[in-house]
Structures are given as C-alpha cells and as structure tokens.
Amino acid sequence: MEDHDPDQKRRRAINPSYPFVDQAEWQLAEFIVQQLNKTDVNKFLKLDWNADQLFGWIDVLPSGPEWQSMTFEFIDYKTAWPMELIWHDGLEVIKDLFDKPNFFQSHDVRSPPQL
C-alpha cells in the first residue's frame, strides 16, 4: 500500500481505520472476512475490487495488543464447558493507546502523560 499511497502514515494518523473510510466500514470488512470464504466474499461484494484486495487491506492494518486466555479447572466442581478467562495485558493496552497519534488530539501533546 505504501507504494500506492505515500501519505499512508498521515492518513492513518487521521483515520485509524485506514484504508477503510471509517470504523463502521472496517467492522463490515472484518465481519465479511471472518464469516465468508473468498468466493463468497466476491459474490457478496459484486464490486470492482475482489477478496484478495480486501484481505490485503486488512493485512496492512495496525494490530493492537494480543488477546490472552487461561482455562480454569476446578476440583469438586463440574462445568458444562471449560471456563476460560480472556484478557488483554493492561500495560500493553496503555502503551498501544499512547502510541496512537490521534489519542493526543484531545490532549496537550507538549506534555503527554507519563507511564
């Protein structure tokens, strides 16, 4: 994408969902790629761009902190399904937030909060 759009960093600073227009468009794309295969995506979209382009755009989006999980087993207590705790590392979330330029748009960028 950088070869086709030299202003990619500036655009991403303005719109974190870039190359999508906004958060809603990104959510639609995310739903489509999670629920449909490439053939079904092409049938659904019926647009000039195809599934390979959509998956390519998603691949270049910045990622956030990794999800983590832990399965619990209890002695003398039966559950229908394994109990799982799913979480983000809080420090990684804070670091990720402060790495995003648009986070500082509503704050004084001359004195960012100290971690």
Is 1 a domain residue?
no
Which pTM was predicted? 0.38
Is 101 a domain residue?
yes
Is 115 a domain residue?
no
Same domain, yes or no: 44 and 81: no
Is 97 a domain residue?
yes
Same domain, yes or no: 53 and 84: no
* 34: containing domain: 8-59
- In this prediction, residue 1 has a pLDDT band, given cuts at 50, 70 and 90, of very low
Q: Average of pLDDT values for 11-21?
A: 79
Give residue 45's pLDDT.
77
**The token pair that represents 73 in the structure block:** 């087993």
Same domain, yes or no: 77 and 53: no
Residues β-bridged to residue 67: 88
pLDDT digits (tens, 9 = 90+) for 61-103: 777 888 899 998 888 888 888 889 999 999 998 888 888 776 6
DSSP output for 83-95: EEEEEE-HHHHHH
Q: Can you tell me the distance from the alpha carbon of 60 to that of 18, in angstroms, rounded to the nearest whole number? A: 9
Same domain, yes or no: 49 and 74: no
Query: Above 50 in pLDDT, residue 40?
Result: yes
